[in-house]
A and B are shown apart, each in its own frame.
Chain A
Amino acid sequence: MSFISQIAPTDQVSQLINLLFQVAYPLFFIIFLLYGNKLQVRTWLWDIEKSLNKLKIMRDKTKQITIDTLKDTGKTSDDMMARLDRMMEFFLIEPVSLDPAGIVGKLDHLITLEEERFKEDIRLITPSANDIQINNYSLSVEVAAALNTFYRVVRHYYVQGKRTKSIYSIMQLQMSMPLIMEMAESYSKAAEAIAAGQPIGDAAGAMVAGKLMHGMPTRKVAKDTVMAEVPMDGRALLVLKAEGPGGTVGKPGDGIVNLIEERNGKIAMLIMIDAGLKLEGEKSGEAFEGIGAAIGGPGVDKFKIEEVLTKYKIPVNAVVIKESMVESISAMKKSLIDGVDDSIKRVRRLIAEKTKEGDTIIVAGIGNTLGVAQ
């Protein structure tokens, strides 16, 4: 008569189904009891594998973007691919810290060498590129190399976990994957902004300095670092930033030390402006004030600045523009521009409140100056 009555179980069929359920029910328990962990590990490994594939795609895409930008400049060397591959696997062996005295000097030396090596290699790939382009390209390659490291490290733990079937190491990896992927995604987004030469969130500090010094004659104070003397309310501001618009952070440590030493320590105050990591839930682009050398990185610049400040007992104020990790390496957002304007107001207020006429003040805009001139 109807579909339902046709498939409606007869007595025999229903008995069979009943029996099946009676067997299957405890069987499920036993399977989950014995193999539950294994199933869990399988799902985790599967999750990690998916992310790993995504990481690989991101790395290859970033590499492709880098290659395309390099080709844009004109002639590239024939061994470009081999060179790029070598650069992406490039490593830095950190100095031994058993006897920490003088380690910063060693680290500084090694980092400088690494940077120079990168730029030399880029110059070999694209001989016709200018300094700005060289800076941008080495930043691009750095991003590609970072993604490569993400991929290699995750793959290492994935393969290791798969081989040893250690539930805890796999669990740890699976649990850290969302954060790793978020970071990797921001790097892959950064590649596009960098290739186009767009200012990234990290440029906020450099932009503050740029806005303060714009229109004034500049001179170099350290490698890739420029300064300008700006008169303001009867005080002399020595504004310092990395030399733009190429993608570089310059050597703000050396720059500040040189400026202070040039004037034999006769500096009333140092104000440092940098982009800083916000906590989740905080508003991007908000500026905060504090005391101390506002500068990230491996600590070389911070060490140099703190040394010279202590030597001459110079007070240091920090203005930090809050942003997320993702924002700091992707194209700058409007809220950060607002933060830049707010920071300039804060710098002016700090100068008005904490110094007097005739004083000399150093204002250092820290961060990558990609896409921001002076």
Chain B
Amino acid sequence: MTEQQPQKKKGINTFSTFYLIILLIFVVSMWFLFRAIIFYQEGLMDEFMTSTLIAAMGLATSGYMLFQMRRRTEAITAMVQKSEVVSVLECAKCGFKNLRKFLKGDHVFKVVELCPRCSADSLMITAIYQQEDEKAKSQA
């Protein structure tokens, strides 16, 4: 855990710098677009064309960069968010079933605690598995 914390922080810093650059490009492109409208109104067609081109290129670049960043952020959060491993506890007597986080030392068929519902039998771990999120499922 202690190892992961600084890594995450550094990642966010680089991300915010990138977002700042994207914002900057976007603002500059908008400014060129604004100029283009004025040139058009003044009838300066050459200047209008140049400004429009620059604005379009800037907008496309910032849009593309934003899209790429989104994808990367998603990929990283998917990597950081480890799917949780759970132990399934079941009572053979009354059928009581409970899911809890995997604890070290857990294994399938391990008898853990007295059944909270019927108190007649102990709960046994019947399965240990990694919870799948829907996205991973559709990919598999």
Residues on A facing B (Cβ under 8 Å): 2-5, 8, 193, 196-199, 207, 210, 214, 244-245, 283-284, 324, 330-337, 371-374
Contact = CB atoms under 8 A, between A and B. Distances in A.
B9 interface: no
Please list the 7 inter-chain residue pairs (A to B) with the smallest Cβ-Cβ separation, ordered nearest first: A245-B107, A373-B109, A331-B130, A372-B108, A371-B107, A334-B129, A337-B127
Nearest to A326: B140
A254 B8 CA distance: 50
A8 B109 contact: no
A373 B108 contact: yes
A5 B140 CA distance: 57
A210 B132 CA distance: 24
Contacts of B77: none
B108 A371 contact: yes
Contacts of B106: 197-198, 371
Interface residues of B, number: 22
B110 to A, nearest CB: 6
B85 A2 contact: no
Contacts of B109: 210, 214, 372-374
Among B50, B105, B108, B129, which residue has the most Cβ atoms of chain A within 10 A? Answer: B108
Contact of A198 (B85, B132, B140): B85
B130 A330 contact: yes
Nearest to A323: B140
Contacts of B47: 2, 4-5, 8
Interface in B103-140: 104-110, 127-132, 137, 140
A207 B105 contact: no
A335 B127 CA distance: 12
Given A197-B106, A371-B106, A372-B109, A332 B35 contact: no
Given A4-B51, A8-B47, A284-B140, A333 B108 contact: no
Contacts of A336: 129
B104 A196 contact: yes
A332 B108 CA distance: 12
Given A8-B47, A371-B128, A372-B108, 14 more contacts: A2-B47, A8-B50, A197-B107, A198-B106, A199-B108, A199-B129, A283-B140, A284-B140, A331-B85, A334-B132, A335-B137, A372-B109, A373-B107, A373-B110
B131 to A, nearest CB: 7
A199 B126 CA distance: 12
B19 interface: no
20 contacts: A4-B50, A198-B85, A199-B108, A199-B129, A214-B109, A244-B108, A245-B110, A324-B140, A330-B130, A331-B85, A331-B128, A332-B130, A334-B130, A335-B137, A335-B140, A337-B129, A371-B106, A371-B107, A373-B107, A374-B109
B128 A332 contact: yes
B39 A331 contact: no
A245 B105 CA distance: 10
B102 interface: yes
A8 B47 CA distance: 8
Contacts of A333: 129-130, 132
B129 A197 contact: no
A244 to B, nearest CB: 7
Nearest to A282: B140
Contacts of B137: 335
A4 B129 contact: no
Contacts of A244: 107-108
Nearest to B47: A4
A144 B104 CA distance: 21
